[in-house]
Structure 1
Amino acid sequence: MADLGWDEEVDVLVVGSGAGGLTAAVAAADAHGSVLVIEKSGEYGGTSATSGGGIWIPNSPLGREQGLEDSEEEAFSYLRPQSAPNVPDGVIRAYIRRAPEMLGWLHEKTPVRFTSVPYPDYHVEYPGGKQGFRTHLPVPFDGRQLGADILHLRAPSPAASLFGIINWRFDETYTLLFRPKGWQKALGKMFWRYGSDLPHRFRSIKDRHLTLGNALVGGLRLALKERGVPLRLNTGLVELVREGDMVTGAVVEQKGKRRRIRARRGLVLAAGGFERNAELRRKHLPGSADPTISGSQINNMGDTIVAAEKVGAALRNMHSTWSAPVFRVPGEERARLSTIERALPGCIIVNQAGKRYMNEAASYHVVGRQILENDRPGAGTQPSWVIFDATFRHKYPMGPLLPLIPDALQPKGVRKIMRKADSIEALARQIGMSADALAATVTRFNADAERGVDTEFDRGGPAYDKMYGDARVQPNPTLAPIVKAPFYAFPIYGGDIGTNGGVVTDEDARVLDEGGRPIGGLYAVGNNAASVMGESYPGAGVTLGPAMAFGYVAGRHAMGVND
């Protein structure tokens, strides 16, 4: 046993195994540190593994290869007015400067690969906004390289896989969504790719063709293995140990036994937010305290944020989330994020008074906030209702409600919440709203859809809206009339995919106390830290991008690499 009662000593201890934590661990190991990663659950990857895996990196070399003209100043002019006033300029500039560096290091030193994609910023109309190529998606990764560790990788969310089992690429998602000529062949290839993975198929249903968030985490896990960095599952943080001005280690629990682990150079908190903690939701968040309204994975209980606060860490923006419209299927432990469906032509979202109240095709953060902020007596929005017709039902998915599969063969939980009627008026009565009001709303929307211009909320006007529209529908790929019976209604809620308030950090990802002073040896990244984005969501990948950029910074800084 080491001095001061330590059971184990390392240079850097990382708490949490999402993309931010794994990046910090690899960076510290590359700076010649002895590193340990602990994960309280039995699976690694955290929320990152269940996500789309995208990272928002302005002014990146990959973007420039695609013809993007960008600069640090343009990125700053875009982010600064969207971020919260209490986020310092220096932290925003640190992210903009270090993120491309982190991406270059990943490509040079690890198996992780990204590609820059033509995905517009969520508010491209703002100064400094770009039409594409700041968002980067992970390249598919061969999970066979992980050996037995593939069995402990957290599965993707149902929205990031086919039937919740077969991993798909972004282009395959579009092929199955719009079903162009030859789509059956593409689907057959996906089934063959999955089914022919023998003998693994007899051992596990887990797909070893890793895509999206699974590809990102898989590549980082292999980077850890190549460096001999241990990742210890079922090992949770109990408390941080502070001695004077320094956090020197932690008490952890593994299989019912507690151990004291000393972190000689630094301890990195990277264990996500608190969205699955009903008590903390009730204390800090507007809207529902029910954790199942979150689309995040179930282990994000805020343990590490509470532990940091106990040793003097300041907190910021604890009321804020990565807001999102979500579907809630009875029997499922997490909500399902609605990303694509709302922009598809032939559907609208109405409140309980039967009226539209927003642009349904806006980014999910904006739509989620609109649902939360418009909930009021007589015009409730929790839930709101997505209204669509038989044409939409045949062509497109609506969350867990899949096209081409008859209503009677949909899962029991889906059938339980779906409403269906032969007229708009009858549908309104089923969901408890004024038949006249809903009919008037649909009539006005249909007239706008025929002209291709949403006169109420400009749906399809902003560049982002068209990203998920159906390009075959013109002049506006997000608008089509709702006219063909039977008509459907599906409940949709204002939820989240995680919290984004947390521990206050500086440009080096160091945790600060209430006086703005760094607590020696303590770092925080990802949703453990108050987001550099404040309460905004400027583009796809602004959650994982900062998590990984500041993870890279934290790992290096802890080891004394001060760039």
Structure 2
Amino acid sequence: MDGFDETFDWVVVGSGAGSMTSALVMRQAGKSVLVLEKTGYVGGTTAKSGGVIWVPNNPLMRQAGEQDSTEAGIAYLEALAENLPGSTPEKRRAYVVESQKMIDFLLAQGIPLARGADFWPDYYDEVPGGCKTSRTVTARYFNKAELGPEWAARLRPGFVSQPAMLSEGLKLAWVGRSWKIKLLLLRIGLRVIAGKLTGKQWVSAGAALQGRLLKAVLDAGADVRIDSPVRELVIADGRVAGVIAESGGERRRIGARLGVLINAGGFAQNQAMRDRFMPGTRAEWSNTPEGDTGDMHAEMERIGAALGQMDQMVGYQMTRMPGWEQAFVKPPAQSLTGKPGAILVDQSGQRYMNEGGSYELYCQTMFERNRTVPAIPSWAIFDARFAQSYPIAGVRMAKMHQVWKDSGYLKEADTIEGLAAQIGVPAEALQATIARWNGFVDAGHDADFGRGARAYDQWLGDPFLKPNPALARIDQAPFYAVDVVPGDVSTYGGAVTDARARVLRPDGSVIDGLYACGVSSASVMGGVYVGAGASIGPSLAFGYVAARHAAGLDNSL
């Protein structure tokens, strides 16, 4: 191609899971591929995450004898999703159908995948098509030493560096309650010892998914470059024909014969964009990496792309315990208020949601409540029995009790009235709220918000608590409170794309040569987070779809 310093068939901006999947498709088709990553690490937000992929009727479910279907997956999305610019019935159907093919493709490429868990229900499992077992898929833990020292050092760190599946790690929280889980811990410990003796460098969860994909892409002969931010999309003859990338202070024009895929993350670390599109949200509360600054959102908008659903984020509630500013993962509050014996109240002392539901809905509800009643921050309320039974954001209170009290983070009192005074809410209101909650627990039914009725609420609770894992009284002094704010794991809006992952203009016409997936695109889920892996799943699926379409392998969509 004229006017370019170098040319590839397929140029990918960003190095997340969808990027790598698209690169594998293109390399299998015999096409040249360049992956450009702006930061010094490969993997983006996916590497920091649990690496969960949500796919209805996936082949691993079928192998396990699970009863699911494409039709049920489509029905589930149709029951929940709004028809928004990035989410149409055609695109939702394409996701459910093509995501299954994508899993088959990755397995055929030698990527070891497994069910994320046998029991990880959809977040709205009660609606038509919802799944009460698990539609989740994850990668098997990975020895990053297989990448070689150079690339192993460039794989973005994850939050689990042990030879354990994510599903195994989730069980370890209950190690003191089950001999089976104690044996599981022993098995993991033996793997750790064996790994150290043999020089293994284990990673799990999202880092394992990214590590395995990176190895496959490198083995397939794709060119992956770090510290190479894309500054511009190049338009020639009415189509996106390449990019201008910067490396080592030098700008290079790079051609793309078949197209450019944007999978460069969202804009969660760009406070100016947050103020423009989702005022009131905070970059400092985000779990995304430093490179999540929306550069390509702005660039796609510059060349005429329609942006959609830019007011949405994948909320993930957090609590601001001491040290949260420097934490690799912001202290999560889902595992706090989702456990039995804890509730969330606003600054008037009122409970206002089902604390056990989707984290995206949880944070969305906080923002909605805050418009009429101060609710940011809100307060997680629990008692002595809870503090002895469950960790606070993964930390046992016995270890940090005095530090937390001295810092002012943990509020503690021998009475509800005393606790109300510490958090600045009316004592009568907080007393009434807790009394009402205790009444619901005694009756076995949350008459206000239905907590504990769905399988997902119970999954978040205590599996050893009967009859309802999500419900327990708050009645044993001392009483405690910690703050909860609406953090996030990503923004959820971006370029509007069609069922082929092609980027569209505001009039619905296609920008030829330009594709987008992941959170660089407006979510196919239509304003709802339907289950664990509802952002990584579409990234992989539409990266797969985009590459197949651009390579002319499947134009049936």
Residue 325 of structure 1 is matched in structure 2 by: 317
Partner residue, 1:344: 339
Secondary structure of 2:318's match?
Answer: strand
1:152 is matched with 154
Superposition deviation, residue 455 in structure 1:
2.4
Q: Does the CA-based 8 Å contact 1:425-1:439 persist in structure 2?
A: yes
Q: Secondary structure at the match of 1:420?
A: strand
Q: d(CA) in 2 for partners of 1:92 and 1:196?
A: 44
Shift of 1:166: 8.8
Structure 1 Cα separation of the partners of residues 70 and 477 of structure 2: 52
Residue in 1 that maps onto 2:543: 551
- Residue by residue, what CA displacement relative to the aligned partner does 1:325-352 show, whole Å, maximum 9, x if unpaired? 2223443266444333322111111111
The SS at the match of 1:325 is coil
| Structure 1 CA distance for aligned equivalents of residues 296 and 334 of structure 2 | 29
Name the structure 2 match of 1:99.
99
Confirm whether residue 79 of structure 1 aligns to residue 77 of structure 2.
Answer: yes
Q: d(CA) in 2 for partners of 1:191 and 1:73?
A: 42
Structure 1 match to 2:399:
405
With 77-86 and 489-498 compared, the bigger mean Cα shift is at 77-86
Whole-angstrom CA distance in 2 between matches of 1:376 and 1:52: 32
Shift of 1:400: 4.8
Distance 2:287 2:110 in 1: 30
Q: Is the 8 A contact 2:337 2:355 kept in 1?
A: yes
Give per-residue Cα distances to partners, 1:268-324, cap 9 Å, x unaligned. 100111111111111111432x20122322321111111111111111111112223
Q: In the alignment, is the contact (CA less than 8 A) between 1:178 and 1:470 conserved in 2?
A: no
- Counterpart amino acid of 2:337? R
Are the aligned partners of 1:324 and 1:369 in contact in 2 as well (CA < 8 Å)? no
**Which residue is 1:140 aligned to?**
141
Give ranges in structure 1 of 5+ residues lacking alignment. 202-206
Q: Are positions 1:386 and 2:383 aligned together?
A: no
Q: 1:8 to 1:540 in 2, by over 3 A?
A: same
Find out whether 1:180 has 2:173 as its counterpart. no
Partner residue in 1 for 2:67 = 69
Letter in 1 for 2:173: L
Tell me if the contact between 2:284 and 2:325 (Cα under 8 Å) persists in the aligned partners: no
> What is the CA-CA distance between 1:459 and the residue it aligns to?
1.1
- Distance in 2 between residues matched to 1:226 and 1:211, nearest whole Å: 20
Match of 2:19 in 1: 21
Number of residue equivalences = 547
Shift of residue 502, structure 1, vs aligned partner: 0.8
The within-5 A match list for 1:235-274 is: 235-274=228-267
Q: Following superposition of structure 1 onto structure 2, how do residues 24-35 of structure 1 map, counting pairs within 5 Å?
A: 24-35=22-33
SS of match in other structure, 1:519: strand
- 1:70/1:167 CA distance change after superposition, 3 Å: closer
1:399 is displaced (CA, Å) by 1.3
> Kindly tell me: are residues 97 and 184 of structure 1, through their superposed partners in 2, closer, same or farther at Cα, counting changes over 3 Å?
closer
Of stretches 39-48 and 71-80 in structure 1, the one that deviates more from structure 2 is 71-80
Deviation, structure 1 residue 168: 6.3
Q: Which of 354, 362, 369 does residue 374 from structure 1 map onto?
A: 369
- Preserved CA contact (<8 Å) 1:338 1:364: no
Q: 1:416 to 1:255 in 2, by over 3 A?
A: farther
Contact 1:273-1:301 within 8 A present in 2 as well: yes
Please name the residue that 1:113 is paired with: 113
Please tell me the residue identity of whatever aligns with 2:433: T
Cα distance, 1:508 vs structure 2: 1.2
Any conservation in 1 of the 2:21–2:544 contact (CA below 8 Å)? yes
CA contact (8 A) 1:56 1:542 kept: yes
CA distance in 2, matches of 1:216, 1:525: 17
SS of alignment partner, residue 179 of structure 1:
helix
Match of 2:213 among 213, 220, 227: 220
Question: Percent identical across equivalent pairs?
Answer: 37
Give the Å deviation of 1:193: 4.8
Which residue in 1 is equivalent to 2:286? 294
- Partner SS state of residue 417, structure 1: coil
d(CA) in 2 for partners of 1:118, 1:559:
38
Residue 174 of structure 1, CA deviation: 1.9
Deviation string, structure 1 residues 377-435 (Cα, Å, up to 9, x no partner): 5x31100010111221122112153355241367x9x9552222222222221111112
TM-score (norm 1): 0.91
String of CA shifts for 1:491-535, please: whole Å, max 9, x gaps. 111232211111011111111112212111111000011111111
Is residue 2:168 matched to residue 1:171? yes
Distance of 1:192 and 1:93 partners within structure 2: 44
Give per-residue Cα distances to partners, 1:134-166, cap 9 Å, x unaligned.
222322223232222222221224xxx48xx89
Which residue identity is paired with 1:380?
A: P
Following superposition, the deviation at residue 107 of structure 1 comes to: 0.4
Shift of the 416–145 alpha-carbon distance from structure 1 to 2, 3 Å rule, reads: farther
Question: Which residue identity lines up with residue 241 of structure 2 in the other structure?
Answer: T
Taking only aligned residues, the RMSD between alpha carbons, in angstroms, comes to 2.4
> 1:125 — aligned with what?
126
Q: TM-score, normalised by structure 2?
A: 0.92
